[in-house]
Every structure is written in structure tokens, then in C-alpha cells.
Structure 1
Amino acid sequence: MSADTSAPGTTATPPRRRLSRQLLSYTLIGGSGVALDLVVFLLLHNAAGMNEQIANAISTTLGIANNFALNARFTFERRDRLVVRFLRFYAVGLTGIALTNLLFLAFTDGLGIDANLIKAGSLPLVLALQFVLNRKWSFA
């Protein structure tokens, strides 16, 4: 008979509680990646005058690498197949780059809204999308 992980007295974490813990950890770790991403973007775009699309690709790549290392260790506790998992995690990260770039095209290029506002405003949407994709594919 298999153990019910949600039954009282078991040592396994109930699925709903585990999901909540993972989401919290992912969000906190994501915050460090977002901070890194945003600071690098601001430096490259504002201080160095780099095009926002290129600055976004570089800054997001650094955030992705930061988040992968920390999420593999702390959120999803997976240390196997790291190269495959990183490639999947990076592919998910590319969806964030693509989504943000589409928002730049629509709101910065199309409507003239400041790229810094679009970058900051895109982060919660990108975080939610990437959590679902990474949980189901990168760290499954």
C-alpha cells in the first residue's frame, strides 16, 4: 500500500503545501534574478546606451543563470541531469525574453512608453509564466 503524502503523521510534505513552498522559494529566488536582471538592464541601456532589445537579452540571460543555480539547489532540489535541466530552464527563460521584447515593440516602439517602465511591468507576468513552465518541464 502506498503512503498518502497528505495524511497526518507522514514525513512527506503534502502536495499543496509543497507547491506553496516551491512557489514562495521560486518567487524569492526570482527576486534575486529580477534584481540582477533589472540592474544590468538599467546599466546597459541607460549608462552604456545599448539598444533595449540587446540589453534585455544580456540582462535576462544573467538572471536566468542565477535563478537556475539557486532553484536547482533550493526550490526543486534537483541535482541530476543539470545540463539538460539548464537547457530547458534557459528555453523557458527565452519565452520571457520573447514576451518582454513583444511588450517593448507594442508599448515602447508603438506607443512611446519608457522602456524602463515596460521592463519593470513585464516582470510579474514573466515570473508567473516561467514558474509554471519550469515546474512542469525543467524540473519535472
Structure 2
Amino acid sequence: MTVTDTPADAGQRPRRDLRQLVGYTLVGGSGVALDLTAFALLHNVLGWHEQLANGVGTTLGITNNFVLNALFTFGRRDRLALRLVRFYAVGLAGIALTFGLLWLFAGRLGADPNLVKAASLPLVLAVQFLLNRKWSFA
């Protein structure tokens, strides 16, 4: 409980936290669908290198997720420019994490880049939710 919370406010926090996590996950699902579709199209159909396809797909997902999270999940429409910069910084951290996983598992160990990309998503989602909640939309 923070200094300004009343006992009633503190009792509502777990419900709000769960609602935000569920909303973030649903919004994230739409971003993941956009990201994976773009990745598959660019890498598998157009023959782009997996790192370039990952960067473009992830950027599309980040943009989608920022708009939807600002409107629905966190309901924060103030300081949008600052929030967007922070959200993209968190998104870049996710790209870096995925790049590293692709480099290691696909580039060095020969795993299928599509499987590596898909398998990286839960870890990236968890890290980004925490960072966005505590920093981008605080």
C-alpha cells in the first residue's frame, strides 16, 4: 500500500493488476499475430534475412501494442510522446533479446528460425510487461 492508498484502494489493486495483465496479454496477442505474420511473409515468402524480418515484424507489433495499451490496458493518454519513446525502448530491448536468441539458436545451433522466434515470445512478453507497467505507463 502506498502512502496515498486507502485500505479500499489496496484491496482493488490485485483486481486491477490482473485486469492489466489480461489486457496486456490480449493486446500482445494481436501484436504477436502481426509480428509473426510479417516475419513469416518477409522471411519465408520474400526471402529476407531472419534478423531483418524480425526487426520489421517486431516494430509493427510494437506500434500496434503501444496504441492499444495506451487506449485500453493502462488507459494513459497523457505524455504520449514520452510514453511512446519509453515503450519503443522497451520494445528495442525485446528485439535485442530476440536477436540474441535467434543468433544463438538459429545462427549457431541450427534451429529453425520460425521455432526460435515463436519460442522467444513468452519470455519477451513477461520482460516487456514488467518494464512497460513500471516505466512506460507508470
TM-score of the alignment, normalized to the shorter chain, above 0.5: yes
Candidates 70, 73, 76, aligned match of 2:71: 73
Candidates 81, 85, 88, aligned match of 1:87: 85
| Unaligned 5+ runs, structure 2 | none
| Unaligned 5+ runs, structure 1 | 8-13
Following superposition, the deviation at residue 2 of structure 1 comes to 6.1
Q: Which position in structure 2 is the counterpart of 1:136?
A: 134
Write out aligned runs for 1:38-77 (5 A). Answer: 38-77=36-75
Candidates 34, 37, 41, aligned match of 1:36: 34
Write out aligned runs for 1:97-108 (5 A). Answer: 97-108=95-106
Corresponding residue SS for 1:63: helix
Candidates 114, 118, 129, aligned match of 1:116: 114
Q: Distance in 2 between matches of 1:6 and 1:129?
A: 25
Corresponding residue SS for 1:33: helix
Structure with the higher helix share, 1 or 2: 2
Following superposition, the deviation at residue 46 of structure 1 comes to 0.5
Following superposition, the deviation at residue 3 of structure 1 comes to 3.2
Candidates 6, 30, 44, aligned match of 1:3: 6
Q: Distance in 2 between matches of 1:81 and 1:6?
A: 26
Q: Distance in 2 between matches of 1:38 and 1:3?
A: 43
Instruction: Indicate the RMSD between aligned Cα atoms, in angstroms.
Output: 1.2
Task: Say how many residue pairs are matched.
Answer: 134
Moved over 2 A (4+): 1-4
Following superposition, the deviation at residue 56 of structure 1 comes to 0.5
Q: Distance in 2 between matches of 1:54 and 1:6?
A: 45
Q: Scaled by the length of structure 1, what TM-score is found?
A: 0.93
Q: Scaled by the length of structure 2, what TM-score is found?
A: 0.94
Q: Distance in 1 between matches of 2:136 and 2:6?
A: 26
Q: Distance in 2 between matches of 1:134 and 1:2?
A: 22
Q: Distance in 2 between matches of 1:48 and 1:88?
A: 32
Amino acid at match of 2:38: V
Amino acid at match of 2:64: N
